[in-house]
Structure 1
């Protein structure tokens, strides 16, 4: 029997004695035991209008091990105080919390409790520090509030909505020392596909043509000649890479092996390559052996710059529950490219089928480099391009 039922039984007995004795005191006293549970129910149904939770934080995207400072504010807009009010929420197990009253691990979750003592129509704030240690998305959409009950041991639970989303990027893996230009086929000469105007170096002016940007108009030369003149820039060529990431299935039943640790190392290596290309201002396109949106492989078109780097890091951070595809099928697709490409393969498993695919790529004139992430330290392996031998024609 809970407290509400106990109050109803006591109130019923008092009203029964009041009916036979005619005592107004018993009528009032018995009615109080029915009024208190009704008041408790009304208070719980109306608490969401008067109690609000505010959650602010200083960072949205961080690396593992970065401290995120959070401020939790609880607002009481009612005319009743809220003593001994607890706010409870849970985070992933890998997130450590500092500054809370209670922190415990339960069911692979970090359960956090904060205590507030709110007077009427007042607010209170608490400061927390969250430190995520793994990549992924940390999010919250609600927190539970436990207030001091009006009677007995019945808790006053309330669900408070909040909005919190923290993106944790993968930690880049240390890479061996290598230069991307050494295996870039068009790194030392211009190609029509990769030549661009470098606005840093100007080599002259030319007459204005429809479609030229107005910011490239040379106004001094225009004033001298009396006609619009456009700046003429030097051409430059930037390396463009094809990075292939080999993601293994999370669990291989035939071999009874889990590949989560190996896949995390592959993702960290891909993140390190993205950081390197961002620093060197190299363009690249990304291929992953993952099925996504009905496609056999994941493909991110070629690009460069900050936005492209953030998009790649976001995709790597949100990768979970892998549905993989064979690496040989992806390499077979790259063989059909008419242009000679620079391919960088990141794989934790180099088998005979992969060797055969690399040999076919080399015979077609592609340049292939491989980063082996089967161990803790990535190892670079280079493959020399095969030159086709000319066959002599014999005249009979």
Structure 2
């Protein structure tokens, strides 16, 4: 029998004696034992109307190992004080917490407890420091509040809504020396196979041809001539790169092998390449051998600049519970491209089928470099048929 049931039994006996004795004191005293549990239930059901939780973080996009300062504020708008109020929340196991009253790690989760003594019509503030050590997204949607119970045995746990998410980017790996200037023109000559237009410099106009981009129409020349005119830009031999990431299945039952560690190296290597392309202001197109929204593989269009870099890093940070696909269809798609591409393949497993696909790409005139991430440090593989592949990592 718990305390609440004990109160009901005592109240029933007092009311029974009051019925036979006619004492008003026993009627009031017995009714009090029924009123207290009802008042407790009403307070717990309506507590979220007067108690609010505010969660403020100084950063929401960080790298692994970056401390983030969290300000926790609990507001009490009621006329009742809330002494010995505990806030309980859970975070991933890799997150370390400083400034809490209790921190325990169990079942791959970090349990955190904070004690707050909340006076009536006032607010209390606590500061935490959390440090994530792995990439991913840290979600927090509710915090359990444990107030001082009316009955000594039963605690009262009430969820308080909070909206918090923190994006942890993958930590870039140290890359071997890679020369990205191989696609530059040789002197003043331009490669006809790698010839593209640079929208930065305009060299004239020409009559409009169906299929031209609407944003490239020169409206001043159109007004003067009375017919649509399209801008003509200078040529460049610096095309976008094609970066291909090979993600292995999380577990291979035939080999009885887990590939989570090597896949994390592949993702970290892709993050390092994104940083390198961002520093050198180069455009790139990303392919990954994982399914994306019903598609056979993940494909991010070509781009450059800060926004494209953040988009790629966000996609890499949010990659969890993925379904892998073979790398061969991606290489076959690049093989069928009519233009000569600069391809950088990041793979932890260079098997015979992949090598044959690389040879076909080289015979079609593409430039291919292979970055092997099977070991702790990425290694740029030799390839005698490719100028980029002849670069040596060390």
Query: Structure 1 length normalisation: TM-score?
Result: 0.87
Give the counterpart of 2:197 among 191, 195, 206.
195
Q: How far apart are the structure 1 equivalents of 2:305 and 2:34?
A: 69
* 8 Å Cα contact 1:368/1:382 also seen in 2: no
The residue number in structure 2 matching 1:103 is: 103
Are 1:282 and 2:279 an aligned pair? no
The residue number in structure 2 matching 1:66 is: 66
Report Cα offsets for 1:314-357 as digits up to 9, x if no partner. Answer: 11111111211111222112110111111100000111111111
State how 1:1-396 maps to structure 2 within 5 Å: 1-182=1-182, 184=183, 189=190, 194-198=196-200, 211-212=217-218, 236-385=236-385
Q: Classify the secondary structure of the residue corresponding to 1:163.
A: strand
Displacement, 1:153? 2.0
Relative to structure 2, which stretch is displaced further, 256-265 or 147-156?
A: 147-156
Report Cα offsets for 1:86-120 as digits up to 9, x if no partner. Answer: 01110110011111111101211111111100110
Residues 1:353 and 1:78: Cα distance change in structure 2 (over 3 Å)? same
Q: How far apart are the structure 1 equivalents of 2:108 and 2:344?
A: 37
Displacement, 1:15? 1.0
Displacement, 1:195? 2.3
Report Cα offsets for 1:57-98 as digits up to 9, x if no partner. Answer: 111111000111110000000000000000111011001111
Q: Classify the secondary structure of the residue corresponding to 1:157.
A: strand
The residue number in structure 1 matching 2:391 is: none
Q: Classify the secondary structure of the residue corresponding to 2:323.
A: coil
Q: How far apart are the structure 2 equivalents of 1:250 and 1:243?
A: 21
Q: Classify the secondary structure of the residue corresponding to 2:376.
A: coil
Q: How far apart are the structure 1 equivalents of 2:237 and 2:48?
A: 61
Q: How many residues align?
A: 366
* 8 Å Cα contact 1:365/1:386 also seen in 2: no
Residues 1:314 and 1:43: Cα distance change in structure 2 (over 3 Å)? same
Relative to structure 2, which stretch is displaced further, 323-332 or 43-52?
A: 323-332
Extract unaligned runs of 5+ from structure 1: 215-230, 388-396
Report Cα offsets for 1:211-252 as digits up to 9, x if no partner. Answer: 4489xxxxxxxxxxxxxxxx9996655341000000000000
The residue number in structure 2 matching 1:225 is: none
Displacement, 1:22? 2.0
Q: Classify the secondary structure of the residue corresponding to 1:65.
A: coil
Q: How far apart are the structure 1 equivalents of 2:175 and 2:340?
A: 25
Q: Classify the secondary structure of the residue corresponding to 2:300.
A: strand
Q: How far apart are the structure 1 equivalents of 2:4 and 2:196?
A: 77
* 8 Å Cα contact 1:367/1:383 also seen in 2: no
Q: Classify the secondary structure of the residue corresponding to 2:381.
A: strand
Q: How far apart are the structure 2 equivalents of 1:187 and 1:37?
A: 86
* 8 Å Cα contact 2:80/2:120 also seen in 1: yes
* 8 Å Cα contact 2:367/2:386 also seen in 1: no
The residue number in structure 2 matching 1:394 is: none
Extract unaligned runs of 5+ from structure 2: 209-215, 221-230, 388-394
Q: How far apart are the structure 2 equivalents of 1:44 and 1:386?
A: 71
Residues 1:264 and 1:186: Cα distance change in structure 2 (over 3 Å)? farther
Q: Classify the secondary structure of the residue corresponding to 2:55.
A: strand
Q: Classify the secondary structure of the residue corresponding to 1:277.
A: helix
Q: Classify the secondary structure of the residue corresponding to 1:43.
A: helix
Q: Classify the secondary structure of the residue corresponding to 2:178.
A: coil
Query: Structure 2 length normalisation: TM-score?
Result: 0.87
Q: Classify the secondary structure of the residue corresponding to 2:242.
A: strand
Q: Classify the secondary structure of the residue corresponding to 1:339.
A: coil
Q: How far apart are the structure 1 equivalents of 2:248 and 2:219?
A: 47
